[in-house]
A and B are shown apart, each in its own frame.
Chain A
């Protein structure tokens, strides 16, 4: 593994066509859960091999078995029910969960997938969870009197899951909070809830934040009790970096250097320039290049190409950083 500019990804990859078809068929009752599970394992292994081949340092399982990042957990927690379809944008719809009664976790939700994926590779695989504030914000709350009450109840079940992942050997645990800036005045709730999740963890903790007004929660978000923040930067033309001029960034920074919502493939030079921008604020051993967000809306090939660009760009900048300073 490299020791500076470690490369990683945010969590999800494009699903292969055979898996897409099987998921659709499963929804119609034409493919059994067991058959689908085998295909999900196959697709996961393929993604582990691809990540190794490309040369990524910190791997993910690619979320071949997940659809939406909140619904996956909502379907496995008691207290949630799955609502009807709601549009997210364009012609994309999802089942927005409903918190209908008190939340509890009947059993671990991601640990078996973590164990399986980690068994396939010597490189570290991240445990991947959705944070309590985002789970709340992306659900309808019918059960709890206040949003804080609901966030803290969700924090408790995410804590249980995170601690189980650590016991299963996870060295990195990512607890995503992409909704953290939805209501900036509620940042203290998100921080309090994350504190519940990470209080006992020794693993490196990470939180991914994307698509929103990061400036509205900075520098307050530095109080989020995680070791690393994982930020979409390329899509925002790296404008958030200038916030660090006034209030220095104090955590590890996973920096997004390619856009995930565009079919266009960035050049290695473009991505390398993004890494260099990040290096002005965060040292190379604390800066981790990656794509802006999960790649699930891209095809397998597009996902691969975007990751390759990240790895090549990191390699290029690593060589520059390693070079002795000109005399």
Chain B
């Protein structure tokens, strides 16, 4: 079984605070654009090295450049801006809500340069490097103000088209897989039909999709998400760990045709899972999903944790994979 992670990695550690200092300098006009980009690159290489060194098989670039999940897109797209500050779901973490001022347009290259940088880092050697985008429903439902589209449906589909264009760009850059981070689907299960149409549009981008509806329980959605025609996804991320009731999703994995990225390590709580706890979750999942279709993962991005804990969580995840596959070091 392969291990993977989702979302953003901590941008600083106790020892590694370069990015924080550089952004302070940028604020005070003591650093120019080239200067900050170089620190972003170095920090990305550092994060990827940590993730890879821990033994994770399918890695990402840690989203070091991303202020929040929506920021890269709201910043790069024409006729979108970053607006008011708002809390990001049930986290004490804040993001800027997008504001849409006209028709969304993109050259589809928003993430291409950063993806190319990531695959060229030393840490990427021998690993699979996946890309990531914000989910269309998440972008659309968190938009503060929309002067262009008549309703949520029109906005979601316009965002999906723009994101499909980003996926075509990523395909050109060689991305083998893209995480679509879609907490809005978990938060608004009633919007699943709209999500189906949005995902079908994303699929036209040509990069296999791993859909991650996280933060809230999705066991009630699993039946619908198993319909491949409506949800043409390669992998579904399912959190089976973070809530008192999360594990009940395991029994509903049987019907899924996609692979499963099993969220077994809680990336929003500091308690480190024991190998035994994790082993039990994996064994339970194996009764419903074959090992070749099962990836072991964190529940969300590790940036919700302090860096030292994030590193321990990576170790716990890798250890769980090692123990349950029976390979002894």
**Which of B11, B13, B68, B269 is close to A142, meaning CB atoms less than 8 Å apart?**
B269
Query: Which of B42-50, B249-257, B275-283, B303-311 lies at the interface?
Result: B303-311
Q: How far is the CB of A222 from chain B (nearest CB, A)?
A: 22
- Which residues of chain A are within 8 angstroms of B87 by Cβ–Cβ distance? 182, 211-212
Q: Evaluate whether A96 and B92 lie within 8 angstroms (CB atoms) in the complex, with A83-B306, A87-B11, A89-B67 already known.
A: yes
Sampled A-B contacts (6; CB under 8 Å): A84-B13, A86-B303, A86-B305, A89-B93, A211-B86, A211-B87
Please give the residue numbers on chain A whose beta carbons come within 8 Å of chain B beta carbons, in ascending order.
83-91, 93, 96, 98, 137-138, 140-142, 146-147, 179, 182-183, 211-212, 235, 261
User: B281-307: contact bitstring with A at CB < 8 Å (1 yes, 0 no)?
Assistant: 000000000000000000000011111
Do the beta carbons of B94 and A98 come within 8 Å of each other? no
Chain B residue with minimal CB distance to A259?
Answer: B84
Question: Nearest chain A CB to B268's CB is how many angstroms away?
Answer: 8
Return the chain A residue nearest B68 by Cβ: A89
Distance in Å from the Cβ of B36 to the closest Cβ of chain A? 11
How many whole Å from A229's CB to the nearest CB in chain B? 18
| Contact A89/B95 with A84-B14, A98-B270, A146-B244 known, Cβ cut-off 8 Å | yes
Inter-chain contacts of B84 with A (CB < 8 A): 235, 261
Partner of B269, one of A86, A138, A141: A141
Q: How far is the CB of A297 from chain B (nearest CB, A)?
A: 10
Residues of chain B lying within 8 A (CB to CB) of residue A91 = 20, 23-24, 27
Q: A100 — nearest CB in chain B belongs to which residue?
A: B270
A179 to B88, CA, bound (A): 11
Q: Which residues of B contact A (CB under 8 A)?
A: 10-14, 20, 23-24, 27, 67-68, 84-87, 89-95, 244, 268-271, 303-309
What separation, in Å, do the CA atoms of A235 and B83 have in the docked complex? 11
Name the A residues within 8 Å of B68 (CB-CB): 89
Most buried by A among B95, B270, B308: B270
Contact across chains for B269 and A179 when beta carbons are under 8 A apart: no
Tell which of A138, A142, A212 touches B270, judged by Cβ atoms closer than 8 Å. Answer: A142
Question: Chain A residues near B86 (CB, 8 Å)?
Answer: 211-212
Query: Do A87 and B93 touch (CB < 8 A)?
Result: yes
Bound complex: CA A211 to CA B87 (Å)? 6
Cβ contacts under 8 Å, A137 to chain B: 90, 92
A19 to chain B, nearest CB (A): 19
**Closest chain A residue to B71, Cβ basis:** A90
**A262 — nearest CB in chain B belongs to which residue?**
B84
Cα separation A20 to B86 with both chains bound (whole Å): 26
Contact between B92 and A138 (Cβ–Cβ < 8 Å)? yes
Determine whether the beta carbon of A87 is less than 8 Å from that of B303. yes
CA distance A91 to B271 in the complex (A): 26
Complex Cα spacing A219 to B75, Å: 36
Q: Is the CB–CB distance between B93 and A88 below 8 Å?
A: yes
- Which residues of chain B have C-beta atoms less than 8 A from A83's C-beta? 270, 306, 309
Known: A146-B244, A212-B87. A89 touches B306 (CB 8 A): no
Q: How far is the CA of A147 from the CA of B94 in the complex (A)?
A: 22
Contact A86 B304 (CB under 8 A): yes
Contact present for B20 and A211 (CB under 8 Å)? no
User: Do B12 and A93 touch (CB < 8 A)?
Assistant: yes
Q: Are A85 and B306 in contact (CB under 8 A)?
A: yes
Q: For A235, list chain B residues within 8 Å (CB).
A: 84
A182 to chain B, nearest CB (A): 4
Q: B22's closest neighbor in chain A, by CB?
A: A91
Asked if A261 meets B85 with Cβ closer than 8 Å, knowing A85-B12, A89-B67, the reply is yes
In this complex, what residue of B is CB-closest to A211? B87
Residues of chain B with a CB closer than 8 A to A89's CB:
67-68, 85, 93-95
Asked if A84 and B308 make an inter-chain contact with CB atoms under 8 angstroms apart, the answer reads: yes
Give chain B nearest CB distance to A278 CB in angstroms.
20
A149–B296 Cα distance when bound, in Å, is 30
Bound together, the chains give a CA A88 to CA B10 distance in angstroms of 11
A83-B306, A84-B309, A89-B68 are known contacts; what are 8 more A-B pairs with Cβ within 8 Å? A83-B309, A84-B13, A85-B12, A86-B304, A89-B67, A89-B94, A142-B269, A147-B244
Per the bound structure, the CA–CA distance linking A96 and B92 in Å amounts to: 9
Chain B residues lying within 8 Å of A96, measured Cβ to Cβ, are 92, 306
Q: Which of B85, B90, B270 contacts A211 (CB 8 A)?
A: B85
How far apart are the CA atoms of A261 and B97 in the complex, in Å?
A: 14
Residue of B87, B271, B303, B308 contacting most chain A CB atoms (<10 Å): B87
Q: Which residue of B lies closest to A261 (CB)?
A: B85
| A85 to B309 CA separation, bound complex (whole angstroms) | 10
With most chain B CB atoms within 10 A of its CB, the pick from A83, A91, A183 is A91
Q: What residues of chain A lie closer than 8 Å to B89, measured between beta carbons?
A: 182
Are the C-beta atoms of A179 and B270 separated by less than 8 Å?
no
Expressed in whole angstroms, the minimum distance between the Cβ of A236 and any Cβ of chain B is 9
A83 CA / B13 CA spacing, docked (Å): 12
A55 CA to B296 CA, complexed, in Å: 60
Shortest C-beta distance, B306 to chain A (Å), equals 3
Contacts of A86 in B (CB 8 A): 10, 93, 303-306
Question: In the assembled complex, which residues on chain A have CB atoms less than 8 Å from the CB atom of B92?
Answer: 88, 96, 137-138, 179
Tell me the bound Cα distance from A235 to B89 in angstroms: 18
Closest A residue by C-beta to B13: A84
- How far apart sit A83 and B268, CA to CA, in the bound complex (Å)? 13
- B304 proximity list for chain A (CB < 8 A): 86
Task: List A contacts of B14 (CB < 8 A).
Answer: 84-85
Residues of A within 8 A of B270 (CB): 83, 98, 140, 142
Separation in Å of the B137 CB from the closest CB of chain A? 16
Q: How far is the CA of A88 from the CA of B91 in the complex (A)?
A: 9
Q: Which chain B residue shows the least CB distance to A210?
A: B87
Closest A residue to B8 by beta carbon equals A87
Q: How far is it, in angstroms, between the C-alpha of A89 and the C-alpha of B11 when the chains are bound?
A: 12
Nearest 9 A-B pairs (CB), nearest first? A84-B306, A89-B94, A182-B90, A140-B270, A91-B23, A142-B271, A138-B92, A211-B87, A83-B306
* A83, B304: Cα distance in complex, Å: 12
Residues of B within 8 A of A261 (CB): 84-85
CA distance A142 to B268 in the complex (A): 11
